[in-house]
Structure 1
Amino acid sequence: MASVKGKLLLDNQPVVNGILHTTNSSNQVVTGRDGSFRLNVDQSLLSDIKINVFSLDQATVSGKHLTKVMSKELQAASAAVSVYYPIRVTRVEDFPADTSKVQVHGQIIPAKGDVVSYFQVDKYRMGGVIKDADGKPVEHAVVWFDRDLGEGFGKSTPTDREGRYSIYYWPEDEETNLSVTLGTKRYTLPKGKVFKMPENTSVEIDITLPRTGTVLVDTPPALVSVTSAGAMYTGVLVGLNVPNNIPYSVSIPDKYGSFILTVSKKVWEQKPTLFETTASKFVEGRLYGGDTLPPNYIEAVEEDPKNIKPLM
């Protein structure tokens, strides 16, 4: 956590007992005798925090309550605090395959002791199809898995009209209880049987519910399990703050925070700012630090810091 200080002033005079509101909190901040206020921000959460005047009902300037004109002027004012990791540009060189473009070599600079979670595998996907004994898709079924005593608990999305479900999880090399609920019914594996999740991969598990009873048949074709490609990636990425019609590509930061941004030389000469975002995306293949992402793959959301001026 870090403390951010500021003052609410009108014609350079402190506004006392003004109430401020920030977009990252529901708490209200009251200005002191010198117009000062303090915010606490989490340095690990990338964001543009906007500060607005919420109320001036009890506010005073030089011991006097504000006039309507003064209140209107203040309530139109706002400020912002950007929380991000500084970015240093280490060098810029022509792109070998196209000299109209440049490769911008940059590095994310964390504070001493900070650990930055760069874009990497966060979870794997378990999905598949639930069918009834006649082979028809089952809607509204939920797949559950857990270890004994409820550890590693998880449940899928309810199946859709096609019987499909999914859940994102981090697999561990342990035996898992697998079950399916449909309404008030709970289908389980035969007594003493467990399912062993494969490590470091996504998996497709298709299940056919029994015609009678609640015990799942744990052999094909009633239960079919195969590994599948892809994983959920989550972490910090850097993008270029330009209109959507301007193409560029950027690589995933490596463990040192280093990345390469490729863009038109003319665009870079206009000194565009950068943005940082914590992205979560399901990727069909495998990605590693240093891999180049497709053009315009990264999108900033509203609260992301978008006006980062790189250190040269």
Structure 2
Amino acid sequence: MKLALVVLNYNDADNTLKLLGNVADYTVFDKVIVVDNASNDDSKVRLKSFCEFNEKIYFVVNHENKGYGAGNNVGIRVAKNLGMNLVLIANPDTNFEENVIRVLKSAMTKNKNIGILAPLADTQDAYGSRENVLKGATCWPVRDFYHSLAENGPISRRIFSKALHYDENFYNAKIRKVGAVLGALLMVRVDAFIKVGGYDEKMFLYGEEDLISKKMADIGLETAVITGYKYKHIHSASIKKSLKSLYSRQKIREESTMYFYKKYLKINPLQQIFAKIFFAAVRLEVLIFGLL
């Protein structure tokens, strides 16, 4: 099984170059694919300079930023053309050991029923605890419309955290089937990813995790986590560099989430109205309390 690393950059050359430096000696990767998502700073120049003398690295420049999903779709199509079977999608603000990736690759090779696999993000809290969940859970159950909406509210997700996430006992097993995993670091089967159409490019940012897991489930493939291995994630560091305003990030989150609800959860008109009212309240929370 051949494995490629795909890293999507947007105005974040510092973190991207740090990640590339960290994995430079990782033999687990057959190829490394760096996609610049139409950065408007000096990222393209710096990354091209780093990549052009390394035959293992493929540097791709998108001329338009169509979002997280579209950018990673490009990287995975390149991986397909290079004959890769598996891809590790990694945000620039992640840090992981080679052994963790070897374990993921081995598990994907042995378990043909798994389409998406991830280790746990290291939050230094007990997994499933309230502290862990509020810092950003690695994985979560399949959610219907109302549970998903509750998770999107800064206050409601604090009130209903037990109903929205797995408890501590869930993580006792070595490998667990889950509803979805955090998009910062995950391994996917290339052919399956392309078969389901990859990420929906109408979702610019946020919500892609639930969608890609749903698409995989529709063709009989599971999403899972390996609980004994972790990676570090500077939570949303890359996003915050390009979208500094909490309010701006919230607006993009709402647009992607509403699109997901309408197209994939098939919510009715009354539910659409309810969601719009709910998100208006969330924007007020963000402005007043800055809870996101």
Q: Do Structure 1 and Structure 2 share a fold, with TM-score over 0.5? A: no
TM-score range, shorter chain: under 0.3
Query: TM-score under structure 1 normalisation?
Result: 0.23
Higher RCO (CA 8 Å, separation ≥ 6 residues): 2
Q: Whose Rg is larger? A: 1
Q: TM-score, normalised on structure 2?
A: 0.24
